[in-house]
Structure formats: structure tokens, C-alpha cells
Amino acid sequence: MELLLPKLGLIVWTLIAFAIVFFILKKFAWKPILKSLDERAKNISDSIQTAEKVRAEMALLKSENEALLMKAREERAVMLKEAKDTKDRIINEAKDQAKLETNKIIADAQVAINQQKMAAITDLKNQVGNLVIEVSEKVLRRELSNKQDQENYIKQLADNAKLN
């Protein structure tokens, strides 16, 4: 039990040693320790403030980036719409041009057909005219006294006439 209850001398010497160590620590170590603790607290506080500033700047940059993305998407949509409109316009112009060319070709073909038709009709008229002249010539060359013989001869010539 003697070990559990210290004697008065031991308590006094322990208090004196504690006071000396306390005085030395207070004189030399306490101020630098407190100073380093204050600096550390200040550094932590500054770091927290810097982190808050960075967080605020990051939020601002994020909102700016989102705004830029939205603007870029809108510009892309406008560009796509313009490209589609341009494509549709070019296609419509090409269709219109093709229709005009087709109509022109058809009109030229109709004119050519009409010219060939008129040439064929003219040629047919010329042949008929030549045939009539030939028949008339032959009728006039042959002098017939009888009207009935003349009509028979004309019928015979008409039957024998070759249409080219």
C-alpha cells in the first residue's frame, strides 16, 4: 500500500519539477507552439476561404460553360436548319430547272414533229399535184371523141396510178 500512497517529499519534489518544466516550457516553447498553432489555424482558415473562392469560381465557370454549350447547341441547330433549307432550295431549283429543260425538249420535239408533218403533207400534195398533172396531160394528149371513153380512160389511169 505504500506504493499507492506517495509521501509528502515525493509530492513536493514532483510539484517543483513540474513547475520548473512548466516555467521552461512557458518561457521557451509555449509561445512558438501557440504561434505555430495560430499560423496553422490561419493557414487552415485561408485554405478554407481559398477553397470557397475556388468553389464559387468553379460554379461560375460551370454556369458559363453550360451557357456556352447552350449557345453552341443553338448555333448548331441554326446551322443545321440553314443547311437543310439550302439543300431543299437547291433540290427545288434543280427540279424546276429539270422541268424547264424537259418542257423545252418536248416543245422542240413538237416543233420538229410539226415541221416534219408539214413537210410530209407538202410532199404528199406535190405528189398528188404531179399525179393530177400526169393524168391531165395524158387525157389531153389522147383525144377522144366520146365522153364515155374519156371517163373510162380517166378511171383506168387512176386505177393504174402508183402512189409513192
- Residue 134 neighbours by CB under 8 Å, 6+ apart: 161
Whole-angstrom CA distances from 121 to 38, 111, 129, 130 are 121, 15, 12, 14
> Any idea which residue has 517543483 for its cell?
16
Cell 408533218 -> residue? 117
Residue 135 within any structural domain of the chain = yes
28 part of a folded domain: no
Say if residues 137 and 118 touch (Cβ distance below 8 Å). Answer: no
For residue 155, being part of any structural domain is answered with: yes
- % of the chain at pLDDT higher than 90: 63
| Residue 148 belongs to some domain of the structure | yes
pLDDT at residue number 162: 63
- Which residue range is the domain that position 83 belongs to? 41-160
Task: Please say if the pLDDT value at position 17 is more than 70.
Answer: yes
- What's the pLDDT tens digit per position in 96-155? 999 999 999 999 999 999 999 999 999 998 888 888 888 777 766 666 667 777 778 778
Is residue 21 one of the residues assigned to a domain? no
Q: Is the whole model's pTM more than 0.85, yes or no?
A: no
Q: Is residue 60 included in any domain, yes or no?
A: yes
Number of separate domains in the chain: 1
Percent of the residues in the chain that have a pLDDT greater than 70, as a whole number: 91
- The answer to whether residue 114 sits within a structural domain is yes
Question: How much is the CA Rg of the chain, to the nearest whole Å?
Answer: 63
Structural domain includes residue 120: yes
